[in-house]
Structure 1
Amino acid sequence: MKNKKRRREQPRPTIHPRNKYSENPPDFALLASLYPSFSPFVFYGRDGRPRIDWTDFGATRELTRVLLLHDHGLDWWIPDGQLCPTVPNRSNYIHWIEDLLSSEIIPKINNNADNIRGFDIGTGANCIYPLLGASLLGWAFVGSDVTDVALEWAERNVKTNPKISDLIEIRKVDTCMDAVLGEDSSEDLLCNGSKTNPSNGLGRESAPISSYTRDDAVEENSYSGPPILFGVVRDGETFDFCMCNPPFFESMEEAGLNPKTSCGGTSQEMVCPGGEKAFITRIIEDSVRLKQSFRWYTSMVGRKSNLKSLIAKLREVGVTIVKTTEFVQGQTCRWGIAWSFVPPARKIVSPYLAEKSNLSFMLEGLQRQFGAIHVLQSIESFFREAGASCKLNVHSFSVDAFYFEQITASNDHVKGILRNKVALLEESVGGDCEEEPPSCSDTMPCPSDDLSFCIIVFQQIPGTLLVKGSLQRKDGLLSGAFPSIFQRLEEVLKQKFCREKASVAIS
């Protein structure tokens, strides 16, 4: 019998570590004892564990109500049929945005770090993101929506929580097409002449608009509803981020394919022609027009298969950085995508690093098919693309193996290396992707002299490599550039070979 190779299982993402429920999931028995209204929905399985019927909208709504009250001090309710959010999953999204903002990859819009302002696209009757963001972190929010029911109940949920009500503004989306297109728009697209499907309240207008020009051809399944960001964000407004739980489905029939849960949801909340892909594509198109009005644009994604095309769209419109993550709650997985047009913060080399002539970093979690020689080949390509000369040497021993490369770079080569962009996207999008092209002039002076250094790759245990860099001339005029070059090389190699590790930084 042939021995079958055991496939290496990838570690599954977990709930965000700062999520209130990461170490202490909801205790149904305790909640039932404290809140009599929740008790009728709790039953005990054969294993003696308390459970609820996730297909019962009443049970899921009451669970959300008592969790918001018990753990967050929030009074909350929604009418029958409206989308009922799960608190742990929505908290994951809030904490991911917190990570993005605190990472300082993108510079702050204002100098007051405590004055964070977000925009919740389609806040819904539940208004969950503004309520959680304001109560957990003190963030200010604008929550937008289009239907009267959503606006009425969102306002109620804000006003019944006076401690945070001043932080949240609920804004009605103007569904008039001329509000977006301008006064010179053609008559057939004016508000009075537009044909709206009343059963599809996110304004499924019969005449779609392009975010670039009104005369552009509209692709099949492109978004054709009311404004999302452009036309809703006011002139001169700036936000630290936007967030969105988009309509995931193309029809209510598709939305009802999962019989294991009942979170409710109207057609306006659940359905969009073209599904989430069309909706998020419109957010991307709006972001092209609004550019740096937002520090970060973000959205939840329901299907991992849509990430690749969405990231390709972001590459097409020229964003400066993209981040992705996975949200996990029980058996439910969602993904997050974030992008920005703000130039990334430049990484200034500290005086301590500038004095060091020997640097190193670890490459951990390499895929099985990659070894030291593959890494060294990538190192060689990295430097040769900038025109630097490379000389490859290989030495193998019985226990260890090490490979080294001698690199010589001129002033112009150093500039090219430091401007060499990390690939914005990889074919696989399971982890974070980013693009941060620093310029030589922003990090150090570039005098005229050759820079010579050696890169050594040690392979000692499977899946882990040690990369060392050694400066050959410590007194050279370009020696100060060495730490930045080595730091840049580390970013490139980790992006290419250590995808799982790279995704830990912001998850």
Structure 2
Amino acid sequence: MSGNHSATQLHPRNIHQGCYNFDDLCSIHPELEAFVKADPSGDKTINFSDQQAVVCLNQALLKQHYQIQHWSIPSNYPCPPIPGRADYIHYAADLLKSVKLGKTPVKVLDIGTGANLIYPIIGSQVYGWHFVASDIDPVSVESAKTIVNSNSNLSDKVDVVLQNNSQHFFKNIIKKTDQFALTLCNPPFYASKKEAEADTLREWKNLKNSEVERGSQMQVDSEKQLNFGGQSNELWCDGGEIRFLKDMVKESAEFAEQVFWFTSLVSEKDNITPLRQMLVDVGAMQVKLRATSQGQKISLMLAWSFMMVEEHRNPESL
């Protein structure tokens, strides 16, 4: 077993509660055994600063909970903390209680799916959602396609596409006849590579000074490796998170009748006020906010819609 891998309470439906059970995980994915060690208290853990170890842990978790037999990512690309990613999916699912979906499959768009394809994996396997997963990075797209093609339980539920224009989010991806119940996005953290490197160095220094390495804290921070490689579009963009999300909000208004709920994680709480004002300006009819656990980090899920909730469904308030 290892230390608790969440600093905050996870969504009630999130199966990643409590500690990683390394005995069970190693029985499911024997390759993980090579990375397991004892922490200072004698509990089993891994070195969460080791990219190979974290990838192997994710492979075990994906096998155990989501029936994914083949999963890998290119070197130097972010390896996401699965418990926090699952939290976003479950809170997003709560939003759909307000939508009259009928018998058609729930269609979800994942903006910036990355090389890891984590959101489509969790959403398709837990809720049966059908995904369009887009990204501007050709390497990420090819990696995500390989994951889909290597797992039969994804092949009929996930379509991976390349966004050819880095200035757009929904254009070129949402076709005229498409209807989506939901969009997902985990925006870049930073405004520049320099800012990303400075923050990463500070966090790694703090972690090395810690006597006990705890699960998802280390896993979250391992997502921001010092060697950024080809993953720059996942970690920083011109203008940072606020510019990215303002552009997304503006463009979302053009697809107001084709998407019920637009959502995104927001890592900087000071960005919420200007985003709320912009959502009013573009005519959003509903805006909801929810704190989600991303390991030791808290992110906010911002959701907006240009349509009104059907009152008789008595949707769960966020």
TM-score calculated relative to the size of structure 1: 0.54
Counterpart mapping for 1:446-485 below 5 A: none
- Note if contact 1:32-1:38 (Cα within 8 Å) is conserved in structure 2: yes
Name the CA distance, whole Å, in 1 between partners of 2:172 and 2:132.
14
Of residues 114, 132, 141, the one that matches 2:122 is: 132
Structure 2: 5+ residue runs without aligned partners?
1-6, 208-220
- Note if contact 1:174-1:232 (Cα within 8 Å) is conserved in structure 2: no
Name the CA distance, whole Å, in 2 between partners of 1:116 and 1:272.
30
C-alpha displacement at 1:330, in angstroms?
A: 3.5
Aligned to 1:159: 149
Aligned residue pairs, count: 287
Of residues 218, 226, 237, the one that matches 2:178 is: 237
Aligned to 1:271: 236
Q: Deviations over 1:196-229 (max 9, x none)?
A: xxxxxxxxxxxxxxxxxxxxxxxxxxxxx43111
Root mean square deviation of aligned Cα: 2.2
Of residues 12, 19, 38, the one that matches 1:25 is: 19
Change (3 A) 1:34 1:133: closer
Q: What's the secondary structure of 1:38's corresponding residue? A: helix
Q: Once the two structures are aligned, what percentage of the paired residues are identical?
A: 32
Matched letter for residue 270 of structure 1: L
C-alpha displacement at 1:33, in angstroms?
A: 4.8
Whether 1:288 aligns to 2:279 is no
Name the CA distance, whole Å, in 2 between partners of 1:163 and 1:29.
26
Q: Deviations over 1:132-166 (max 9, x none)?
A: 11111110000011222111110010111112311
Aligned to 1:262: 222
Q: Which structure exhibits the higher relative contact order, with contacts defined as CA atoms closer than 8 Å and separated by 6 or more residues? A: 2
Structure 1: 5+ residue runs without aligned partners?
1-11, 176-224, 350-433, 435-503
Counterpart mapping for 1:148-227 below 5 A: 148-175=138-165, 225-227=166-168
Name the CA distance, whole Å, in 2 between partners of 1:111 and 1:137.
15
Aligned to 1:93: 88
Q: What's the secondary structure of 2:170's corresponding residue? A: coil
Answer with 35-44 or 143-152: which moved more: 35-44
Q: What's the secondary structure of 1:92's corresponding residue? A: helix
Whether 1:339 aligns to 2:304 is yes
Aligned to 1:45: 39
C-alpha displacement at 1:317, in angstroms?
A: 1.5
Name the CA distance, whole Å, in 2 between partners of 1:164 and 1:234.
22
Higher helix share: 2
Change (3 A) 1:320 1:56: same
Of residues 298, 316, 340, the one that matches 2:263 is: 298
C-alpha displacement at 1:65, in angstroms?
A: 1.3
Larger radius of gyration: 1
C-alpha displacement at 1:30, in angstroms?
A: 3.3
Name the CA distance, whole Å, in 2 between partners of 1:336 and 1:242.
12
- Note if contact 2:81-2:295 (Cα within 8 Å) is conserved in structure 1: no
Name the CA distance, whole Å, in 2 between partners of 1:66 and 1:348.
38
Change (3 A) 1:147 1:53: same
C-alpha displacement at 1:172, in angstroms?
A: 1.3
C-alpha displacement at 1:299, in angstroms?
A: 0.3
Q: Deviations over 1:407-434 (max 9, x none)?
A: xxxxxxxxxxxxxxxxxxxxxxxxxxx9
Aligned to 2:67: 73
- Note if contact 1:252-1:271 (Cα within 8 Å) is conserved in structure 2: yes
Whether 1:251 aligns to 2:192 is yes
- Note if contact 2:83-2:295 (Cα within 8 Å) is conserved in structure 1: no
- Note if contact 1:29-1:42 (Cα within 8 Å) is conserved in structure 2: no
Q: What's the secondary structure of 2:152's corresponding residue? A: coil
Structure 1 residue ranges (4+ consecutive) displaced by more than 6 angstroms after TM superposition: none
